Amino acid sequence: MLSKNQIKLITLLKQKKYRVKHNLFVAEGIKTINELLHSDFELSHLYTTTLDFSASDVLTTLISEKELKKISFLKTPNTALALFKIPMPKKIDFSKLVVALDNVKDPGNLGTIIRLCDWFGLDNLICNLETVDCYNPKVIQATMGSIKRINITYTDLSELLNTRHETVFGTFMEGENVYKSNLPENGILVLGNESNGISEDISRTINKKISIPRFGNIKETESLNVANATAILLSEFKRRIIEK
The footprint of a copy of itself (CB under 8 A) covers 35, 112, 115-116, 118-122, 144-146, 149, 177, 179-180, 212-218, 220-222, 224-225, 227-229, 231-232, 235-236, 238-239, 241-243
Instruction: Using the minimum distance from each CB to a copy of itself, give the nearer residue, 28 or 67.
Output: 28
Cβ–Cβ under 8 Å, residues 80 and 48 = yes
DSSP assignment of the chain, as one string?
A: ---HHHHHHHHHTTSHHHHHHHTEEEEESHHHHHHHHTSSPPEEEEEESSS-S---GGGEEE--HHHHHHH-SSSS--SEEEEEEPPPPPPP-TTSEEEEESS---HHHHHHHHHHHHHTT--EEEEETTSPPTTSHHHHHHHTTGGGGSEEEEE-HHHHHHH--S-EEEEEEEEEEGGGS---SSEEEEE-BTTTBS-HHHHTT--EEEE----SS-TTPPPPPHHHHHHHHHHHHHHHHHH-
Q: Could you tell me the smallest distance in angstroms from the CB atom of residue 194 to a copy of itself?
A: 12
Instruction: Using the minimum distance from each CB to a copy of itself, give the nearer residue, 66 or 216.
Output: 216
Q: Could you tell me the smallest distance in angstroms from the CB atom of residue 120 to a copy of itself?
A: 5
Q: Could you tell me the smallest distance in angstroms from the CB atom of residue 95 to a copy of itself?
A: 15
Q: Could you tell me the smallest distance in angstroms from the CB atom of residue 4 to a copy of itself?
A: 31
Instruction: Using the minimum distance from each CB to a copy of itself, give the nearer residue, 35 or 102.
Output: 35
Instruction: Using the minimum distance from each CB to a copy of itself, give the nearer residue, 54 or 217.
Output: 217
Nearest CA to 45 among 16, 19, 25, 65? 25
Rounded CA-CA distance 133/15 in Å is: 10
Q: Could you tell me the smallest distance in angstroms from the CB atom of residue 148 to a copy of itself?
A: 10
Q: Could you tell me the smallest distance in angstroms from the CB atom of residue 116 to a copy of itself?
A: 6
Instruction: Using the minimum distance from each CB to a copy of itself, give the nearer residue, 3 or 216.
Output: 216
